[in-house]
Amino acid sequence: VDKGLLGNVKFYTDDVAKKGYFVVIRLHLYDIHYQRSPIAGTVVSQKYSKGKFLNAVVDAEKLKATFENEKNEMLISGIIDGKRVKTKVIQVAGFAARRIESYVKENQKLEKGEHLGVINLGSQVVLVVPEVDLKIVEGDRVSGGETIIGVV
């Protein structure tokens, strides 16, 4: 990550864990753009931010779109194996995706895999997760509701 972006990454991860992963999933125009809850838990907070509409697929490698584009952040807290775990899902709009829809509200209880929302057309989803056993590597193609990103 570009050193100038490290402060942004820290800002987006502080409320999840001291150590963890920042997973960027690029969604092309032909991909399915629904997001699902990575864990069972409760929506602690949700924050929508207006922003630019940079190409969220091409600029994903530089993380420029991640920090500058319109986005919706959902912080989810749950209990896994007796431990409190927090994750964050960030829906990022792209140049073609100018509409983010969230299906959840603060304090709403969620099941693992439950639909959180949709981003219309090409876009990006960022998962901020604590240290887990990652089951993916850079370049993997993931499928919503099927691919396991990591295990606590």
**Active-site residues: which are they?**
123
Task: Please list, residue by residue across 76-99, b when 16 or more beta carbons sit within 10 angstroms of its beta carbon and e when fewer do.
Answer: bbbeeeeeebbbbbbbbbbbebee
Fill in the DSSP letter of residue 54: -
Classify residue 81 as left (phi > 0), alpha (psi -120 to 50) or beta. left
State the Cα–Cα distance between residues 5 and 98, nearest whole angstrom.
24
